[in-house]
Amino acid sequence: MRLIMLGPPGSGKGTQAQNLIQRFDIPQVSTGDILRASIKAGADLGRKAKAFMDAGQLVPDDVIIGIIRERLACSDCGKGYLFDGFPRTVAQAQALDAMLAERGEKLDHVVCIDVPDANIVGRLTGRLTCPNCSAMFHVKTMPPKQAGVCDRCGNALIVRDDDKEETIRKRLANYHGQTSPLIAYYDGKKLLRRIDGVGAPADIGQRVAAVFE
Ligand code: AMP
């Protein structure tokens, strides 16, 4: 199974991705997680990416395409993968098409989670992230069992630097300007499955699951 999760920041892509990677036993390839791990490790890649991320801008395409090329070469991607937060530009999608063609592979579905901007700002400003295992919580709608502590791994939860309101608005503007053209791109390839992303995570999970039935 080869999947892409598309949708604005804070649409619940990461949460829904968790269900799908378990269901299909495939790795989740999140460029955001790879970049954050690289920043934490003090690596060159992280140093280059951090200024873009903190400013709510996209990291340049060549950097991202390099990350994906390296990640796809890992053996666990042989059985499929789920891209979360990639591609984010038409240039990235075209580079992915070229990599897939080289590998003799095809995408199965592009799941696009639709959420209006007004809902996103409220969601992201309350978002809590685990810096260790990337699990997400929300102070109001999905609180952890113990305040400030990850249910999954017990690490302390944080508010991401780029989950501040001003940065969120910039990330949304990037989504509409640079990423939303991918909706038409994948619709043209008959791969797009649109999901209404407003509601409780479990209900949205059922809508996503229906794509695979
Ligand atoms: P995310 O966790 O997917 O919301 O990504 C956090 C930040 O990492 C984004 O706001 C971008 O600055 C950067 N980023 C992640 N994935 C990409 C990508 N595919 N293209 C460009 N920038 C990215």
Whether 59 lines ligand 1, by a CB cut-off of 6 Å, is yes
Rounded to whole angstroms, the Cα distance separating 136 from 152 reads 10
Q: Does residue 8 contact residue 120 with C-beta atoms inside 8 Å?
A: yes
Look at residue 35 and tell me if it is in a domain: no
Rounded to whole angstroms, the Cα distance separating 161 from 138 reads 15
Residue owning the nearest CA to atom 6 of ligand 1? 32
| Ligand 1 center–CA 46 separation, angstroms | 12
| Ligand 1 center–CA 98 separation, angstroms | 21
Look at residue 91 and tell me if it is in a domain: yes
pLDDT for res 31: 95
What is the position in ligand 1's atom list of the atom closest to the CA of 174?
10
pTM exceeds 0.75 for this model: yes
Look at residue 188 and tell me if it is in a domain: yes
Look at residue 10 and tell me if it is in a domain: yes
- pLDDT tens, residue order, the chain (213 aa): 999 999 999 898 988 999 999 999 999 999 999 999 999 999 999 998 999 998 889 999 999 999 999 999 999 999 899 999 999 999 999 999 999 999 999 999 999 999 999 889 888 888 899 999 989 999 988 999 999 999 999 999 999 888 888 888 888 999 999 999 999 999 999 999 999 999 988 999 999 999 998
Residue 95 phi/psi, 5-degree rounding, is -65, -40
Enclosing domain of residue 192: 2-27+74-116+168-210
Which residues are known catalytic residues? 13, 88, 127, 160, 171
Domains identified in the chain, total number: 1
Residue owning the nearest CA to atom 14 of ligand 1? 32
Rounded to whole angstroms, the Cα distance separating 38 from 21 reads 22
What is the position in ligand 1's atom list of the atom closest to the CA of 33?
2
Look at residue 138 and tell me if it is in a domain: no
Look at residue 44 and tell me if it is in a domain: no
Look at residue 83 and tell me if it is in a domain: yes
CATH number for 202: 3.40.50.300
Look at residue 130 and tell me if it is in a domain: no
